[in-house]
Amino acid sequence: MIAAVNIELYRYEIHSLLKAFYPEEDVRVVVTGQEPRKKKDLGIPWIYIDYAQGSIRVRIPEEDRSAALQAPAGDNYAAKGPACKGALKHLLYDFLSACTGKSLPWGELIGIRPTKIAMQHMAAGASAEETAAYMEKEFRVSREKSLLAVDIAERERRILSDIHYKDGYSLYVGVPFCPTTCLYCSFTSFPIAAWRERVDAYLDALIREIRETSGLMKGRILDTVYIGGGTPTTLEPDQLDRLLTAIETWFPMDRIQEFTVEAGRPDSITAEKLRTLRRHKITRISVNPQTMKEETLKIIGRRHTVDQTVQAFRLARQEGFDNINMDIILGLPEETPEDVAETLRRIEELDPDSLTVHSLAVKRASRLQQWIEQNGFSALNNTDESMRIAAEGAARMDMVPYYLYRQKNMSGNFENVGYAREGRYGIYNILIMEETQSILALGAGSISKALFENGRIERADNCKDVATYIETIEEMIARKRRLFGL
């Protein structure tokens, strides 16, 4: 599908909405006069969007369909601004919904943080019901999702009531190694077998960054620490000990509310590593199955078995961990709602403390996109039924939804939801999504965020490549000094 606009305005929003309604299409957005004339483009559906000062018009000439939205007095629909952007999204969403007969769960929202809208609206004095109605009217969000967003926003405000916003911060430390790279993954991840000889060099650079940036946060309260990746437990016990000791040496740990380590891959977990984490008072870990179907694990390149997941989880319980999260992904290749139900049944037997339900997002950078093309799949689809099965499974385990985010190209246009029991919420997960606190992020592929009093957010990213990170560690440190010295 090709969309042609007469003015260079809001091409990203147009592409995102078209892709949401037509996930199987290769969507392109071009400016009128720059349309491709190649033979391969003949026969592809075209949609035209025309901006004018007094109106926006959308049309599909081949289907004799069109719609227009008139601008109120004083508004200019041919210039960049809130009036034009809002009108475009309303018009295009309603038009595409009429053309396809579909309504999207999150309406015209294309951002990743719908609960942020709910939190801000309620912070301004609106009630829960008023906020839900606002999201339904202004963004075409379904009733089910507006109530979910409001429910989570209310819970987030309570969970974060003790967080130090102005005088606090959180720390993220990235370990970019994994046993293997999963088919769907687009995160910074390097197979540990190929990099084993350079892991210590990476830790040298990372610990230097820890030491040199800790002073930037002097006088602030450290609320949470999150060690992610990759898979941090690909490190050997002595390497884990070295990293955790460095964090404890250079950062104040006396007021910390949560210390998480992603032990996500069951094939990376051993008793000795778990004991190392326990010695350093890690409060929360993850043991992530993604699915409890053996065939799917092989397809997505996990290279561990369902039994390994079960054994790793039980081992973590035996070692004394009382806050264990499990991740699953809905919409994986060739999985059915029945498979999802079986995954939830197996997870309920293990009885974790929290469950994070991801809706598959197909990233261009992942090998999954290549797999789809090579195996003749037009798309992978999550479903309402699978989402319902996961939500009901979480409820049976006495868990409630506590954070939510969305991603581009997400299967079924759904969302990722974290469920947890009371007192077992992942605080860092909320903070990173709601962007209410500064985050110092260290390691390859990490992104630091500085939050200022006027609400402005500035970022500084580290390079993703491990070798480049090691070689340019002084530049990575300098970026933090510039960011937090603003």
Q: Is residue 193 part of a domain?
A: yes
Give the model confidence (pLDDT) of 258-281 as tens digits: 999 998 889 999 999 999 999 999
Measured at the CA of 90, the angle between CA 84 and CA 91, to 5 degrees, comes to 85
CATH code assigned at 388: 3.30.750.200
Distance CA(223)–CA(349), nearest Å, equals 33
Distance CA(225)–CA(254), nearest Å, equals 12
State the pLDDT confidence band at 147, using cuts at 50, 70 and 90: very high
- Would the pTM count as exceeding 0.85? yes
Q: Is residue 254 part of a domain?
A: yes
Q: How many other C-beta atoms lie within 10 A of the C-beta of residue 442?
A: 25
Distance CA(461)–CA(401), nearest Å, equals 30
Q: Residues 205, 308: one domain? A: yes
Tokens at 437, concatenated: 């606190």
State the pLDDT confidence band at 469, using cuts at 50, 70 and 90: very high
| The predicted structure's pLDDT at residue 135 | 96
Of the chain, the percentage scoring pLDDT greater than 90 comes to: 73
For residues 356-364, give the mean pLDDT: 78
| The predicted structure's pLDDT at residue 162 | 92
Q: What is the DSSP letter of 361?
A: B
Listed range (146-150, 396-400, 430-434, 446-450) with the worst mean pLDDT: 430-434
Q: Residues 218, 121: one domain? A: no
Q: Is residue 368 part of a domain?
A: yes
pLDDT at 9 over 90: yes
Asked if 142 and 103 count as a contact pair (C-beta separation under 8 A), the reply is yes
Q: Residues 131, 63: one domain? A: no
Asked if 287 and 263 count as a contact pair (C-beta separation under 8 A), the reply is yes
- The phi, psi pair for 63, rounded to 5°, reads -105, 5
For residues 363-367, give the mean pLDDT: 57
Q: Is residue 64 part of a domain?
A: yes
Q: Which range of residues forms the domain containing residue 11?
A: 2-100
State in Å, rounded, how far the first CA of the chain is from the last one. 44
Q: Residues 171, 71: one domain? A: no
Q: What is the DSSP letter of 20?
A: H
Q: Residues 299, 443: one domain? A: yes
Q: Residues 96, 234: one domain? A: no
Q: Is residue 109 part of a domain?
A: no
Give the model confidence (pLDDT) of 394-407 as tens digits: 999 999 999 999 88
Of the chain, the percentage scoring pLDDT greater than 70 comes to: 91
Q: Is residue 106 part of a domain?
A: no
| The predicted structure's pLDDT at residue 83 | 94
| The predicted structure's pLDDT at residue 43 | 63
Query: Among 68, 100, 132, where does a domain finish?
Result: 100
Q: Residues 295, 429: one domain? A: yes
Distance CA(95)–CA(60), nearest Å, equals 10
- Number of structural domains the chain divides into: 3
Distance CA(12)–CA(35), nearest Å, equals 17
In this structure, are strands 168-175 and 439-442 parallel, antiparallel, or unpaired? parallel
CATH code assigned at 34: 3.40.50
Q: Residues 75, 140: one domain? A: no
Q: Residues 70, 197: one domain? A: no
Q: Is residue 178 part of a domain?
A: yes
Q: Residues 137, 183: one domain? A: no
Distance CA(450)–CA(417), nearest Å, equals 25
| The predicted structure's pLDDT at residue 359 | 87
Q: What is the DSSP letter of 397?
A: T
Collect all residues with Cβ–Cβ distance below 8 Å to 357 and sequence separation of at least 6: 328, 330, 387, 390, 391, 394, 416, 417, 418, 419
167 CB burial (10 A radius; 0-12, 13-18, 19+): exposed
State the pLDDT confidence band at 313, using cuts at 50, 70 and 90: very high
Give the model confidence (pLDDT) of 177-229 as tens digits: 987 766 666 555 677 777 888 999 999 999 999 999 999 999 999 999 999 98
| The predicted structure's pLDDT at residue 268 | 93
Per-position DSSP letters for 93-115, written without gaps between them? HHHHHHHH----TTTT--SS-HH
Q: Residues 128, 213: one domain? A: no
